[in-house]
Amino acid sequence: MHKYKIAEKFEKFAPLETQEDWDCSGWEVNNKEYDDIRKVMLCLTVTDDIISQAKEQNCDMIISHHPCFYTPINWSNINIYSAHTNFDKANGGTTDTIIEKLGLSDYKIEIKHEFLRIIEKDFSIDEFSKIIKGISPNARVVNTHKIERLKKIAFCAGSGSEFIADAKEFGADCLVTGDLKFHTALDSPIVLYDIGHFESEILILPVFEKLIGNEVTIVYAKEQNPFKNIK
């Protein structure tokens, strides 16, 4: 499959013009020598290790969620394409995949916000915590106001702590996201679940695979959350 046909599928699903101004989605490396793509590696973040994996498996292209804010010279001999904040905003994108994975898609309500998604369903804190642990065993919860039941729950994949006030404004009593900081958590007027940046976004890779289709071979990079629990 021609690499521009692959890019076209991604940009139809999540137009590049919808990405944030600071983002670098799209072509990170567009190698003119390799247009016909036979094998694609999917990953969350491109690293030297991912590049090595792609070369070892004879991949013609890497598609990542996180963009490359700089590209080392030794990465320049393979096509690299990223789909970041445009996929965060798209219907069926990163945040929607969390809700789907949790089996809560039927409870989603429409709101006018680019990054947030909200579901409306009654849970006790304990009930919802068990559901969250299904996708993120090491998830953390902040409940400084000792809220016992949740009725509206907001979701934002990746680093979504900046949207706590927005979630509250839309009537949510909980936000599920990643990368929370101490003071942000301490000052929150609503319940917060930190499921981890990696865990919240790695779920998008099967969506990438579905978009590409079966005309090329798809392989998943071997990557893990860099944070490890001390045992």
**Same domain for 58 and 10:** yes
> Are residues 33 and 96 located together in one domain of the fold?
no
Looking at the structure, do residues 73 and 126 belong to the same domain, yes or no? no
Q: At 32, is the pLDDT very low, low, confident or very high (cuts 50, 70, 90)?
A: confident
Which of 165, 179, 166 lies closest to 225 in space, CA to CA?
179
Average pLDDT for residues 138-153, to the nearest whole number?
96
- Same domain flag for 78 and 97: no
Domain count, the chain: 2
Give me the pLDDT at residue 229, please.
85
Structural domain includes residue 228: no
| Residue 179 and residue 208 in one domain | no
State the pLDDT at residue 85: 97
Does residue 83 sit within a domain? yes
Token digits of residue 199: 């865990």
Among residues of the chain, what percentage have pLDDT more than 90?
92
Domain co-membership, 73 together with 148: no
Cα separations in angstroms, 220 against 53, 131, 217: 10, 26, 10
Q: What is the pLDDT of residue 29?
A: 96
Evaluate whether residue 111 is within a structural domain.
yes
pLDDT value at residue 168: 97
Statement to judge: residues 98 and 14 lie in one domain:
no
| Residue 231 resides in a domain | no
Residue 20 and residue 49 share a domain: yes
Report if residue 213 sits inside a domain: yes
pLDDT at 34: 87
Task: Work out the pLDDT band at 152, boundaries 50, 70, 90.
Answer: very high
Dihedral, 95, 99, 101, 107 alpha carbons, nearest 10? -160
Same-domain status, 113 and 182: yes
User: How large is the average pLDDT for residues 17-34?
Assistant: 94
pLDDT at 19: 97
pLDDT attached to residue 33? 86
Residue 42 lies in a domain: yes
In a domain, 55, yes or no: yes
Residue 73, exposed/middle/buried by CB under 10 A (0-12, 13-18, 19+)? exposed
224 pLDDT above the threshold of 90: yes
For residues 75 and 125, membership in a common domain is answered with no
Domain assignment present for residue 40? The answer is yes
User: Pick from 2, 69, 59: which is nearest to 32 by CA?
Assistant: 2
Whichever domain contains 26, its CATH number is 3.40.1390.30
Note whether 30 and 62 are same-domain residues.
yes
Burial class of residue 21 in the structure, from the number of CB atoms within 10 Å of its CB (0-12 exposed, 13-18 middle, 19+ buried): exposed
Residue-number span of the structural domain to which 101 is assigned: 90-200
Are residues 116 and 182 located together in one domain of the fold?
yes
